[in-house]
Structure 1
């Protein structure tokens, strides 16, 4: 597997652990439907939260939220619709973005954008 894929999977696991530490319940990871993949499915305060995780080894090329374009959002919504149908979810949902940033010293920081789009 390519290094960027390894970094992405590690970032997803770190984001899941970080969200669990904030009171979220981890439900699913890497849910695929068609061409779309939902990185994390979490529950928080009665909501089903679909989380897109973006890893950056710096901000020189921009922040995580800037890399979730309209095409990606449409794919995520389509996959989420399928997930909701498949699981027969009847309550509210939300789409979040979590940016995972590693600085030059190797320290990891997170930026969480709740209700980032719909």
Structure 2
């Protein structure tokens, strides 16, 4: 669902479910502007009051930054961004720059 959403927005899907020893990237994509995007996908599957993107806490942000740095080494010529896609039933919210890569 998230990959199809990004494709409809003219993103190129580079890979999905990329595993490292220290974490996993749900989707690695290329924005139409050339930015390499590490995408964290969060889905609401229960009656929890919180929104899915709220699960991206400080520990998860730190892990995403580490994953982005690993990807940055493979794409040194491209800017890197971390986005979160939040899915609740049929509603998809795309939060760009959800975690700031310095």
Larger Rg: 1
The answer as to whether partners of 1:58 and 1:101 remain within 8 angstroms in 2 is no
Aligned alpha-carbon RMSD (Å): 1.5
Q: What is the total number of aligned residue pairs between the two structures? A: 99
Question: Where does structure 2 lack aligned partners over 5 or more consecutive residues?
Answer: none
Which structure features the higher share of helix residues? 1
Instruction: Identify unmatched segments of 5+ residues in structure 1.
Output: 1-13, 103-107
| The structure with more strand, counted as a fraction of residues | 2
Q: Which runs of 4+ in 1 moved over 6 A?
A: none
Residue in structure 2 matched with residue 10 of structure 1 by the alignment: none
Q: TM-score, normalised by structure 2?
A: 0.88
Residue 99 (structure 2) aligns with: 117
Please say if residues 83 and 96 of structure 2, whose CA atoms lie closer than 8 Å, have aligned partners that are also in contact. Answer: yes
Matches within 5 A, 1:54-69: 54-57=42-45, 60-69=48-57
SS at match of 2:49: coil
